[in-house]
Amino acid sequence: MSQTKKSERSTTGEDSNPPGLPFADENPIDAGGDQVTYPDVSSITGASLSEIREEDRARALKGAQLLAKCLQLEGVDVLFGYPGGANLEIFDVLRDYGIRCIRVEHEQGAAHAAEGFARATGRPGVCLATSGPGATNLVTGIANANSDSVPIVAITGNVPSPLLGKNAFQEVDIVSVTAPITKRSYQVQRVGHIPAVVRHAFRLATSNRPGPVLMDLPKDIQQHYPRDPEGNYAPPRMPAIIERLEDPVGGFPADQLEEACRMIHEAKRPVIYAGGGVIASDASSWLIQLAEKLSCPVTTTIMGLGAFPPDHPLALHVLGMHGTKYANFAINQADLVLAIGVRFDDRVTGKVSEFIKHGKIIHIDVDRSELNKNKRVTLPIWADLRQALPQLAASAQPGECAEWVQQCQDWRGQWPLTVEQVEGKGINPQWAIHQLSELTGGDALVTVGVGQHQMWAMQHYQVRHPRSFLSSSGLGTMGFGLPAAIGAKVGCPDRLVIDIDGDGSLNMTIHELSTCHRYGLGVKIVVINNQWLGMVRQWQDMIYKGHRAESDLSDPATSVKRSSEVEVYPDFVTIAAGYKVRAERVTRSSDLAAAYERMLADPEEPYLLDVVVSSDENVYPMIPAGATYKDIIMCSDDLGHDHDHGKKDLIR
């Protein structure tokens, strides 16, 4: 699954230039309308209420109302946003249509929350921002959704149509900005086109390969009522009837199904390599059925976590740069790989020419552009997993691979992901996450930021359900964890939602603690706090001879403390208190279990637990970028130089 998709800019409206902006006294604004942010200018297709025939006014809906009604018809009952001058018309009417707004503290948080909602529920998430900086603040979240194929609909207000292109206050051409990172970006130019644009947006976001869609509504489009040239109110059909924008992708063509079944039956060393496409297609049960029928070992990407039970005898866990050694060995020594809903990402393949060098590959994906893009395969199949996996499970017959299954199980026993906590030493971060997994039974819905903690969570939190591990995997967006957890909790209020975050990553969006408190969202935040940009520091030690340039997060003014004291910066417990979120800090391994119990005691209470861990722990296994599975590093002793240069301890 690719990180970028070809996008197109779409506008719906007249080709003619908008009329010039008159003086305010030439066009008085209707009482009850927006009389502050922008003057009002009517057009032949939309006008203020006073310009609609009197007998039509009682039933007339303006653009903002049409939008809210159409969102309601799409099943939207909640969105994430932030108000501003160019979207106040929309905010003003949401409650009239039963739509709740979760007001975040920054628009990037709105986009990530929409992602969290979508990934946790399978329904499209919606975010709403004003023009200019409000719209551009959404861009990182939109790009993130594009990389990870998440269905979100981003709605932005903009300056009135007559001001577009005039460098007006808070004007940005957000349609052009987002065109490369959306499935499509629209700007609505006629009030009557709102229902069609909304229907297009939601169909595109969720069809075939999911992804983000943007709708930009100038302020006058929100304010005006649709009319015909004679001044009659001209209500558009809701919901709109639209032409199909994408042909639905089907299942296996008959000849390819026969060929795939032949290859599977002849294989002696098969491996299933499953990714986020399995989760997005809600096809996890079919994956399990297929694997069990074929007695085929299964490895997943980080996006595929939860698609296959971690304790299943056929489970190989995660592969790739920081995946298990046994998964990386198995896929590279397989004679057949079934690549299902994956995109052969560089963090999985390493040196592409050496990845699965001697095995055959069947690649099934809903996005035809992914086939043979990063890795040439034996049998590329353009198909929807919702149909393809049931077909394959029904038709494929296993080969003779009992010895291979035993070999994979032997490798798993030989190279396990182990965790160790030495009594009296600093808290081991892997052990801290393992303990959380044990305590929750792997049943929590987990979000993560980006960094070492993300990889440790991938390795040591045993995810048991689909749509339960939400990670910024393609774009690698620090700060993703907390707002994504907010969206997930809003979408799944009865589930335990835990953001496993790092101190560097959390610091980018910690203001969203306010959102947790304001809306009573019982999100739990576990901070794996090592006072470093840990992954940056690890690479600096490995590549730059220990030159830890700007990766130290501790207070530079801190003097050496007594051994009984722990100095951390910033003080997340105090920050949380400022947002009225309960928090505590743990520095000793013997205190961790009780702290977890306190954190989990009240499912409705937001809670931050700051876990101060050993500062120089690295993420292993690790396959260096551009290397192969044969170059895997299992521990610090495998490194060829002193990686401990510049070591710093939190507990002195």
Q: What pLDDT digit, counting tens, does each position of 91-144 carry?
A: 999 999 999 999 999 999 999 999 999 999 999 999 999 999 999 999 999 999
Q: How many whole angstroms separate alpha carbon 170 and alpha carbon 131? A: 6
Query: What is the model's pLDDT at position 42?
Result: 65
Place of tokens 């699965």: 356
- Please, what is the end-to-end C-alpha distance for the chain in angstroms? 46
The per-residue pLDDT for range 144-182, each reduced to its tens digit, is 999 999 999 999 999 999 988 998 899 999 999 999 999
Residue 12 in this model has a pLDDT that exceeds 90: no
Q: How many whole angstroms separate alpha carbon 52 and alpha carbon 232? A: 6
CA angle (538, 542, 544) in 5-degree steps: 100
Q: How many whole angstroms separate alpha carbon 228 and alpha carbon 219? A: 20
| Cis preceding-peptide flag for 18 (omega within 30 of 0) | no
Query: What is the model's pLDDT at position 403?
Result: 97
Query: What is the model's pLDDT at position 651?
Result: 30
Residue 36 in this model has a pLDDT that exceeds 90: no
The two beta strands, 360-365 and 524-529, are: unpaired
Query: What is the model's pLDDT at position 229?
Result: 80
User: Packing angle between helix 534-543 and helix 452-460, nearest 10 degrees?
Assistant: 100
Active site residues: 107, 169-170, 219, 535
**Cα torsion angle, 406, 411, 414, 415, sign:** negative
Query: What is the model's pLDDT at position 30?
Result: 40
The one-letter amino acid code at 34 reads D
Q: How many whole angstroms separate alpha carbon 40 and alpha carbon 29? A: 6
- pLDDT above 70 coverage of the chain, percent: 90
The closest of 331, 317, 333, 326 to 410, measured between CA atoms, is 326
Query: What is the model's pLDDT at position 7?
Result: 40
The closest of 467, 422, 458, 414 to 437, measured between CA atoms, is 458
Q: How many whole angstroms separate alpha carbon 305 and alpha carbon 468? A: 8
Residue 630 in this model has a pLDDT that exceeds 90: yes
Q: How many whole angstroms separate alpha carbon 462 and alpha carbon 442? A: 5
Place of tokens 């105090």: 574
Residue 11 in this model has a pLDDT that exceeds 70: no
Residue 40 in this model has a pLDDT that exceeds 70: no
Q: Where are the alpha helices (DSSP H) in 468-547?
A: 481-491, 503-506, 513-518, 534-543
| Cis preceding-peptide flag for 239 (omega within 30 of 0) | yes
Q: How many whole angstroms separate alpha carbon 231 and alpha carbon 221? A: 16
The closest of 581, 593, 564, 577 to 522, measured between CA atoms, is 581
Tokens of 391: 């077909």
| Cis preceding-peptide flag for 235 (omega within 30 of 0) | no
Section 395-400 average pLDDT: 95
Residue 647 in this model has a pLDDT that exceeds 70: no
The per-residue pLDDT for range 539-576, each reduced to its tens digit, is 999 999 999 999 999 998 875 444 445 789 999 999 99
All domains in the chain, ordered by first residue: 9-226 (3.40.50.970), 254-414 (3.40.50.1220), 429-638 (3.40.50.970)
Please count the CA atoms within 13 angstroms of the CA of 499 that sit on its side-chain side: 38
Q: Are 111 and 135 in contact (CB under 8 A)?
A: no
The per-residue pLDDT for range 332-370, each reduced to its tens digit, is 999 999 999 999 999 999 999 999 999 999 999 999 999
Q: Confidence band (pLDDT; 50, 70, 90) for 38? A: low
Section 581-608 average pLDDT: 97
Q: Are 584 and 575 in contact (CB under 8 A)?
A: no
Using DSSP's 3-state secondary structure scheme, residue 12 falls into strand
The per-residue pLDDT for range 181-213, each reduced to its tens digit, is 999 999 999 999 999 999 999 999 999 999 999
The per-residue pLDDT for range 220-254, each reduced to its tens digit, is 999 999 988 887 899 999 999 998 888 899 999 99
Query: What is the model's pLDDT at position 45?
Result: 65
Residue 406 in this model has a pLDDT that exceeds 50: yes
Q: What is the 3-state secondary structure (H, E, C) of 159-195?
A: CCHHHCCCCCCCCCCHHHHHHHHCCEEEEECCHHHHH
Q: How many whole angstroms separate alpha carbon 214 and alpha carbon 117? A: 17
Q: Which residue has the higher pLDDT, 12 or 348?
A: 348
Residue 650 in this model has a pLDDT that exceeds 70: no
Residue 89 in this model has a pLDDT that exceeds 50: yes
Residue 637 in this model has a pLDDT that exceeds 90: no
Q: How many whole angstroms separate alpha carbon 449 and alpha carbon 345? A: 19
- pLDDT above 90 coverage of the chain, percent: 82
pTM for this one? 0.91
- Residues contacting residue 28 through CB under 8 Å, at least 6 positions apart: none
Q: Where are the alpha helices (DSSP H) in 498-649?
A: 503-506, 513-518, 534-543, 572-578, 592-600
- Cα distances (angstroms) measured from residue 547 to each of 537, 544, 550, 568, 637: 9, 6, 9, 22, 19
The per-residue pLDDT for range 207-228, each reduced to its tens digit, is 999 999 999 999 999 999 998 8
The one-letter amino acid code at 512 reads E
The per-residue pLDDT for range 483-501, each reduced to its tens digit, is 999 999 999 999 999 999 9
Ramachandran category for residue 245: left, alpha or beta (phi over 0 → left; psi -120 to 50 → alpha): alpha
Query: What is the model's pLDDT at position 639?
Result: 76
- DSSP tag of 304: G
What is the side-by-side strand order in the sheet with 9-12? Answer: 9-12, 184-188, 213-218, 152-158, 125-129, 78-81, 100-103
Tokens of 126: 């919606």
Using DSSP's 3-state secondary structure scheme, residue 365 falls into strand
CA angle (21, 25, 27) in 5-degree steps: 55
- DSSP tag of 306: T
The per-residue pLDDT for range 293-321, each reduced to its tens digit, is 999 999 999 999 999 999 999 999 999 99
Q: Where are the alpha helices (DSSP H) in 427-491?
A: 429-440, 452-460, 481-491
**Average pLDDT over all residues of the chain:** 90
Q: How many whole angstroms separate alpha carbon 1 and alpha carbon 301? A: 11
